[in-house]
Amino acid sequence: MLLFIVSNILGSSIQITTLPLVILSPLQASGLVFNSICATLILSEPFTRYSLIGTILVCTGAALIAAFGAMKEPAHSLDELLDLLAKKTFLSWMACTALLIAGILGATKASSILQPRLKHTARVRMIRGVAYGCVRYELIYSEMGRK
């Protein structure tokens, strides 16, 4: 257990400080795949059809991000960023992104507050997980758009 904790802390520290975000995201996603495989092999957890589908989706998404996300874009100077801040289209894009994320998080929070009244089903948990995934995707996408 100590080896696992030390390797994760040390490995994550090296990854975060040396790799760009576009490469780091698929690398972290591939860690989920290895966790799923190791849980099946070491802990004898069942590897269901949903585990296989999730593993394939994570691998496909990581490959797409690694292939198409590593395109070089020029760095913006402070003057260019201030010019962007003065444009209405940039401000509306950022406002819409913030409203979308706030709306998804608000709906997710409302569903967890109302959950005692809702039937605690796998479908509700899946929808909540997809909502959190959408927020993470939107944050990564908006971060890549700024670079």
pLDDT of residue 147: 46
Q: Are residues 80 and 129 in the same domain?
A: yes
The tally of domains found in the chain comes to 2
Q: What is the DSSP letter of 116?
A: T
Centroid of chain to Cα 126: 16
Sequence-distant (6+) residues with CB within 8 A of 140 are 21, 25
The single-letter code of the amino acid at 71 is M
Q: Are residues 54 and 82 in the same domain?
A: no
138 and 101 Cβ atoms separated by less than 8 Å: yes
What residues make up the domain containing 106?
75-147
d(CA 122, CA 50): 12
Structure tokens at 82: 């201030």
Q: What is the pTM of this model?
A: 0.44
Q: Are residues 67 and 93 in the same domain?
A: no
Domain final position from 45, 72, 99 = 72
Q: Are residues 66 and 128 in the same domain?
A: no
Q: Are residues 24 and 86 in the same domain?
A: no
Domain final position from 72, 97, 130 = 72
- In a structure prediction context, what are the per-residue pLDDT tens digits for the chain, which is 147 residues long? 777 677 777 777 777 777 776 677 777 777 777 777 888 888 888 888 888 888 888 888 777 877 776 667 677 788 888 888 889 998 898 888 889 888 888 888 877 777 666 666 777 777 777 887 777 766 665 554 444
Domain final position from 47, 72, 97 = 72
Q: Are residues 45 and 87 in the same domain?
A: no
pLDDT of residue 53: 87
pLDDT of residue 21: 67
